[in-house]
Chains A and B, each alone.
Chain A
Amino acid sequence: MKSIARLLASLRSEQKKSGSDYTGTVTMVKGGTAYVRFTGAEISDTPVSMSVDCKPGDKVRVRVANGRAWLTGNDTAPPTNDTEDIAVVKTENSALIERVRVLEKRLDEVPYILSGDIGGAMTIEPGATGGAIGTFGPEFLTPPNFFTELQTSNISPQIGRVTVSTESVDTRGYKISIHNASSIAVFVLVRWVAIGRLKR
């Protein structure tokens, strides 16, 4: 009987050194130590080495072995989690989209549609009446050239005609728009100039 008791004691002792895994909530972070309240624990905030980044309130995974404890995972913000980055991108995109909407709304007041990619050929199209009114070459895409072209083209709803390159078309009822979100700055500049010019 004695030897069995010893054997059980030995086995129990070995079992205790195998290591254990826990989940818990970070209550405080100080230096390289996170203080974690293990799930079900009532009295203590256990110090855990911060092998994984965390902040108070995070749900974390902890391993304890040989008297040491360290984080093995952060369920709230896992290392591969790009939620925050995505949120930032969404915010930025939302702002961009909003700016585009504002500009488009204002462009609705302008009777011309300027379509095409900045860096490529662009076209002024009629809004409701249909029919292209002209094509601009790449040299047109540099704002100063564009402004010059607009100015020299004599775009004016009041006049009712616009001259682009060698063509002269009726511009009454036309809109101007630029569809290129990545060039929004240029777009804004161009549009304001265009609007300003068109409203004269």
Chain B
Amino acid sequence: MNWNTGFSALYDLKKVDPATWMDVGSFDFVSGTIDRTGTGLMESADLTMTEDPGECWVRVYLKARQESSGARVALFTGLTSTPSRSLDGTRITYAVECYSVLKSAADILVPRGYYAPTGSDAAQLVASLLAVGPAPVVVDGESPGLSEAIVAEDSMSRLDVAWLILEAIGWRLRVTGEGVVHICERASDSSAVFDTRDNDVVELSMTDAQDWFSVPNCIRVLSGDRYAEYIDDDPNSAVSTVSRKATRGGSGQIWMSDTASSVGDGESLAEYAMRILKQKQEPARTVSYSRRYRPDVLVGDRVTLHLSSVGINGEFKVTSQTVELGYGCRTSEEVVAV
């Protein structure tokens, strides 16, 4: 199966047994979309079905067919909720919202006074927080320890605390189509290359936004009685003070402040300041486009764009995706330059 060329798409909707996490039955559905983001519940799906599934776990499959090959890949696994009916006199359709496998962790508050202890294995702690639902949770690699304890507030769910811990250690969550939650490092390599030659999967209609004026280039960090400042004066950075001075005729400084809530283990305050500023500078350039579906590219992954004809080259991080469960499994994607 070559995902860089066209394919025909069919879809299956299966009922999932929460005990075994295997498919146990089928549903019919008319259409749907899957939304993926990098925060919160990370993904959701909206399905239009011809029967009421009730509240259950479901899984959506893509059956891709090419001339001599094909593939069946899971696109989404989630929990159906709040079905509503539409009646047009002859047919009844059900609009079904599907929540992600992280919903269980988002529904349960942590105990009052909960905290993640200093030096604890952060990824394992996140895994234990998320392991309240039926979805398998996997830790990929060895995570750093926590340099400082993280204390939860009363209103925080297990998922909220998990995100706090992940932010502190610079890791992320990656939810696969099978509904397996991976706790892993932030992507450093590209999962896919999109160009105009062998990997020509991106549609011509694109949006390239550069929001430099809301992106900081100076940061000050306060942590207890410690203080650090970092100023991006890299002439190669489009948003640095040097670059902005040349284009704006002013000092070009845009400041942000941070309370150093997520200093990594062994990380100095200055290093933390640099890391956070780089993260905050990521939205400086946002590119939106649509392309063919690629099962190996999820939110948080990196892609390399070589679209020289439109001046878009380099590495980008995927920040959101919308997958249309229709012809060609069209995927609308938003990426930011890294």
Using a CB–CB distance below 8 Å, which chain A residues touch chain B? 1-2, 5-6, 9-10, 13, 15-16, 19-20, 22, 24, 36-38, 40-49, 64-69
Contact = CB atoms under 8 A, between A and B. Distances in A.
A87 B153 CA distance: 39
B44 interface: yes
Interface string B250-262: 0000000001011
Contact of A47 (B44, B46, B95, B118): B118
Nearest to B161: A67
B237 interface: no
Interface residues of B, number: 33
B155 interface: yes
A15 B109 CA distance: 14
Nearest to A47: B149
Contacts of A2: 35, 44, 46, 97
Contacts of A6: 35, 44
Given A1-B46, A19-B153, A67-B261, A10 B114 contact: no
A68 B153 CA distance: 9
A46 B150 CA distance: 10
Contact of B155 (A1, A15, A42, A46): A15
Contact of B39 (A13, A19, A49): A13
Chain A binding surface SS class: mixed
A65 B111 contact: no
B113 A38 contact: yes
Contacts of A42: 111-112
Interface of B: 35, 39-41, 44, 46, 82, 84, 95, 97, 111-115, 117-118, 148-156, 160, 164, 168, 224, 259, 261-262
Nearest to B35: A2
B111 A46 contact: no
Contacts of A46: 113-115, 151
B153 A65 contact: yes
B97 to A, nearest CB: 6
Nearest to B99: A5
Query: Which 7 residue pairs of A and B lie closest in terms of their CB atoms, listed nearest first?
Result: A41-B113, A67-B150, A69-B151, A66-B261, A38-B113, A41-B112, A20-B153
Given A1-B95, A41-B113, A42-B111, A16 B151 contact: no
Contacts of B259: 66, 68
B35 A47 contact: no
Given A65-B153, A69-B151, A47 B115 contact: yes
Contacts of A43: 111, 113-114
A50 to B, nearest CB: 11
Contacts of A13: 39-40, 160
Contact of B151 (A1, A9, A15, A68): A68
B115 A44 contact: yes
B41 A9 contact: yes
A40 B112 contact: yes
Contacts of B82: 1
A10 B113 CA distance: 24
A16 B106 CA distance: 12
Contacts of B261: 66-68
A57 to B, nearest CB: 17
A187 B37 CA distance: 86
Contacts of A24: 113
